[in-house]
Chain A
Amino acid sequence: MTEEQSLVEVRQLRKYFLIERSPLVKLLARKNDLLVRAVDGVNLAIGDGETVGLVGESGCGKTTLGRVITRLYEPTDGQIIFKCQDITDSRGAELLKLRRQSQIIFQNPYASLNPRKTVRQIISVPLQNRGVKDVKAREEEILYLLRRVGLSERYIDSYPHQFSGGQRQRIGIARALAMRPKFIVADEPVSSLDVSIQAQVLNLLEELQEELGLTYLFIAHDLSVIFYVSDRVAVMYLGKIVEVAKTDELFAHPLHPYTQALMAAVPMVDKKYRRKRITLKGTVPSPIDPPSGCRFHTRCFAKKGKICETEEPPLIVSDGHQVACHLFQ
């Protein structure tokens, strides 16, 4: 993807979390501070109007990446470029401007809405920040947003606990839309919903994208959801992106062994699309002390040899894919 086309781009983005130990523990137990490498050198470009799916197992850093891109977390290192502007160190008014353009939909609709505020109050906040000062205009806009996300207008003075999970997620979406953003990070927006409700929310997000020209970074652990919504997919493992490709391409020919295993593990409804099961050994190692070399080598079934343990494979273009594996160097 060339630079002009991309709306958001991250370069060598890193986010480390420090787990500080108290001086006493350091002294007595001789333990040092721990560094969690949640996101460790990620390059990713998201085009205008595109949906990029980000998939990986829990703890691989996908949520952290989403939050760093929207500047909810400060990046430790690297660059974030939004509309050809470096926003890595934006402060004050500049940051506010960015916040207006990039919004986030959170995973848990039960935790992301303040239980003591009505829907009107919840959606008013972003509207005020956008500068809609007139109360009447604000009310009208709230009603419009509610209708847009498929909620009845009479719910405007209800509290979050009066809604079901699917409806709450719709309120979360309305709140994100209130800023009229260009870019939305959808952080597992459907993972806590039932299947029939999940489909409603997925279709809503798709309609909104067509109507408002939104760009999504869609984070999910469910591969079938990712397949459905994304134009391109990035697969993440332990803080690194291991493979990026167009959705159809990736699902037809996954290159990275981890992607292959991930796809084989998904239980399929249709018999003919079932893949031969590749059962991975063990679990994801801790990001506190990730394995040397290729981070997947401890569970990999297609290890090439010594090189996997010592050298980190760069993300290179191969066969229309971007893949980080020694097999394709």
Chain B
Amino acid sequence: MAEVDEEVELEKVKSQGEPLLELRNLTTIFPLKRGVVQAVTGVDLTLHRGEIIGLVGESGCGKSMTMLSILRLVPYPGKIVDGKVLYKGENLLDKPMGKVRQIRGREIAMIFQDPMTTLNPVFKVGEQVRESLRIHGIVGDRRLPWPLGREIRIKEKQRVLRIMEEVGIPATKYRYHEYPHQFSGGMQQRMVIATALACEPKLLLADEPTTALDVTIQAQILDLLRKINREHGTSIILVTHDLGVTAEFCRNIAVMYAGRIVEKGTADQVIQGPRHPYTQGLLHSIPRIAGERKRIQPIPGEVPEPVDLPEGCAFYPRCDRARPECLGSEIPMREIENGRLVRCVLY
């Protein structure tokens, strides 16, 4: 029942108007000595309010770089050379850095993969959550003089405690004053999520939030993210390499390979009936716990390093249905059904 309700609600939201985030032809490159690495090539993605999208792909396929490009956090020497990042209709790539900084953390927050390296080991975890509240002046102006500033600090702390409670950290009053090493991996990840949620962002970019965690903890964190999505209507882009996670957690899936999105559709469509040979290969190569054991069929070869890729399909050398027309010119994304997009000459 709940699912149907959600569906209806989502449709309502969708019809209401413009999408929250829209990526258009986003292209990020890394000019290196040995050639130009095309980390992200022509990525189009649309995210509505309250939607959860899964971005799936193997390591090095550019999924994390897409996330960093949205927030303009691409490390040197990488740069965004083309495309648009429309957040609420405004292009973030045209904005001055100061404006982007106001959006980071407040409107769009990111959860990084490894909680141990995200949290600063020499600051108290509670203070680290409070930092984003202070920077964005959520509770009040941070530059106020002593008596007023102190009051604001107390209010901020109360808010941090509330958020910590919300993400499921017990004994918040004590844990506020602890350091990251005193937390377990799952608890650290909760703190990272708390940091991201502190300013109640509209959009959460979760870059492999559960990869470093055990399955039972992963289930807890995914439940938590789902709860946040329901209660606050936060949109989430979940980057992961685990097809199982996306299948259970996301409504829509985009599959990436060598910097490009090769297939898009709802989770059911993509998982039940994959169209692109890469997606099919990926689904054949994961062992499944399902009745009898089927032999897995690995995709031959290795993920190519996206250095000076030839025009055409990057999956060509590993594809079992490759044709001459796969190479030469860029393969466009084609809509084969309603909302179902595939980048392959077979369709």
Interface, chain A (partner B; CB < 8 A): 57-58, 164, 166-167, 194-200, 202-203, 221, 223-225, 227-229, 251, 261-271, 273-274, 277, 279-280, 283-284
Contact A267 B241 (CB under 8 A): no
A sample of 5 more A-B contacts (CB under 8 A), given A195-B286, A200-B300, A203-B296, is A57-B216, A262-B215, A267-B248, A269-B283, A269-B288
> 1/0 contact trace for B289-314 toward A, CB 8 Å?
11101011111101100000000000
CB-CB < 8 A to A198: which residues of B? 285-286, 298
Name 14 A/B residue pairs within 8 A (Cβ), A-sorted.
A57-B216, A195-B282, A195-B285, A196-B298, A196-B303, A197-B302, A200-B298, A227-B287, A251-B289, A262-B215, A266-B244, A267-B248, A268-B288, A273-B290
Distance to closest chain A CB from B218 (angstroms): 7
Taken together as a complex, chains A and B put the C-alpha atoms of A264 and B216 apart, in Å, by: 9
| Residues B287 and A279 in contact, CB atoms below 8 Å apart | no
Q: A199 to B297, Cβ gap below 8 A?
A: yes
- Is the pair B219, A277 in contact by a Cβ cutoff of 8 Å? yes
**Contact at B287–A228, with CB atoms within 8 Å?**
yes
A224 partner residues in chain B, CB cutoff 8 A:
244, 286-289
Residue of B nearest to A206 (CB): B295
Q: Which residues of A have CB within 8 Å of B185?
A: 58
Q: Which 5 A-B pairs have CB atoms at the shortest separation, nearest pair first?
A: A228-B287, A199-B298, A267-B244, A199-B285, A265-B219
Binding site for A on B (CB under 8 A): 58-59, 184-187, 214-220, 222-223, 241-245, 247-249, 268, 271, 281-291, 293, 295-300, 302-303
Are A57 and B282 in contact, CB atoms less than 8 angstroms apart?
A: no
Whether A261 and B296, one on each chain, are in contact in the complex, defined by CB atoms closer than 8 angstroms, is: no
Q: Which residues of B contact A268 (CB under 8 A)?
A: 244, 247-248, 288-290
Q: A196-B282, A269-B271, A270-B288 are in contact. Are A283 and B187 (CB under 8 A)?
A: yes
Find chain B residues with CB under 8 A from A284 CB: 214
Q: CA A280 – CA B216 in complex, angstroms?
A: 7
A162–B214 alpha-carbon span in the complex (Å): 31
Contact A58 B214 (CB under 8 A): yes
| B219–chain A nearest beta-carbon distance, Å | 4
Q: Which of A167, A261, A273, A279 contacts B289 (CB 8 A)?
A: A273
Contact A194–B286 (Cβ < 8 Å): no
Q: Are B289 and A57 in contact (CB under 8 A)?
A: no
Q: Determine the chain B residues whose CB is within 8 A of the CB of A202 once the complex forms.
A: 287, 296, 298
Q: A265-B218, A268-B289 are in contact. Are A194 and B59 (CB under 8 A)?
A: yes
> Chain A residues near B219 (CB, 8 Å)?
264-265, 267, 277, 279-280
Interchain CB contact under 8 A, A269 and B216: no
